[in-house]
Amino acid sequence: MGCILNRQKQSFDHCFEVFLADTPESKKIHYQLRYRVYCDEMGFDDTEQFPAQQEIDEWDKSAVHFLVRHKYTQQWLGGLRMVMPKGHVFPFQESSSSHQRLPNGRYKNSVEISRLCVIKEARRFAFRNSAVEVAEENRKISFLHDYRNINRDIMWGLYRAAAVYSVQQGIKHWYMLADPALAYSIKKQGLDIQQLGDASRQSARLLYYLNTKQVLENSLWFEGYRHDFRLYSDIATDVPVDMRGRQVKQIGVISYVSRI
């Protein structure tokens, strides 16, 4: 696991890779990760509601899913989805009547970002300071809507992949329900995240807005997030990688995206 031992090479691109889940098998991986986080580890959802051990809802059919994998162990660590509207309705509008309807022309080039999660095992791969690796490994899982346990490397990697895809597909607007602490961490990174409306009695999360072009122009991506996402369906070849005299298999071919 060179991304832990070699501090000089520790970056998201060195340790991880992002995939667009373009097959039923890959989407199932996201559902299983969500079940593990929301049901088994956090206890947010009742496990009896998901007997197949896949956290899934009716919005997944109209969503694009992204996954993160550790390069050298090939373990799936987290995911995110981008939900397309059903007519003139997003999940955040269905969950609360307090959220205003968007202008009619806005729906065709907007998505809702949701189901952002990372399993606890990701902590032993992602921390940049190896001196705290053992102590952090036994802490609670990293749930990306809770800034106290956030795994920022993987969050940024997922956001960048979603932003690249959005710009490619002509999607200009992101909406997301998030804890204010998470929104603060995003804003602190230089992203222009805007709060829309006030908190409701039903949830502590607030509705936020981001412009996708502005997200992709952030300088963070040039500091270790240069690799593009790949298609899950393109996983086909095993390429041996020399890691300090050991042959480690790395799957697939890395592609790149130019600056915008």
| Amino acid letter for position 141 | I
Beta carbons within 10 angstroms of residue 49's beta carbon = 10
> In this predicted model, what pLDDT tens digit does every residue of 173-205 receive, in sequence order?
999 999 898 899 899 999 999 999 776 555 678
Estimate to the nearest angstrom the gap between the alpha carbon of 39 and the chain centroid. Answer: 18
Question: Which pLDDT band, with edges at 50, 70 and 90, does 254 fall under?
Answer: very low
Give a yes or no: residue 134 inside a domain: yes
Residue from 256, 253, 235, 226 nearest 157 by CA: 226
The pTM (predicted TM-score) of the whole model is 0.78
CA dihedral 250, 251, 252, 257 (to 10 degrees): -60
Cα separation values, 137 from 38, 73, 122, 126, Å: 19, 16, 9, 10
| Domain CATH number, residue 171 | 3.40.630.30
Q: Specify the DSSP class assigned to residue 128.
A: S
Give a yes or no: residue 257 inside a domain: no
Range of the domain at 156: 2-251
| Secondary structure of 167-234 as H, E, C letters | HHCCCCEEEEEECHHHHHHHHHCCCCCEEECCCCCCCCCEEEEEEHHHHHCCHHHHHCCCECCEEHHH
Average pLDDT over residues 151-169: 93
- The arrangement of strands across the sheet holding 230-231 comes to 194-196, 206-211, 173-178, 110-118, 76-83, 63-70, 16-21, 230-231
- Identify any residues that bridge with 118 across adjacent strands, giving them in sequence order: 78
* Domain count across the chain: 1
At residue 253, the pLDDT reads 32
Whole-angstrom distance, CA of residue 3 vs CA of residue 68: 15
Give a yes or no: residue 138 inside a domain: yes
> In this predicted model, what pLDDT tens digit does every residue of 43-84 receive, in sequence order?
677 777 788 889 999 999 999 999 999 988 899 999 999 999
> In this predicted model, what pLDDT tens digit does every residue of 122-137 receive, in sequence order?
766 644 443 334 334 4
Give a yes or no: residue 144 inside a domain: yes
What is the residue whose two structure tokens read 């222009």? 192
Give a yes or no: residue 256 inside a domain: no
Would you say residue 98 has pLDDT above 70? no
Give a yes or no: residue 246 inside a domain: yes
At residue 138, the pLDDT reads 38
- Identify any residues that bridge with 231 across adjacent strands, giving them in sequence order: 20
Give a yes or no: residue 260 inside a domain: no
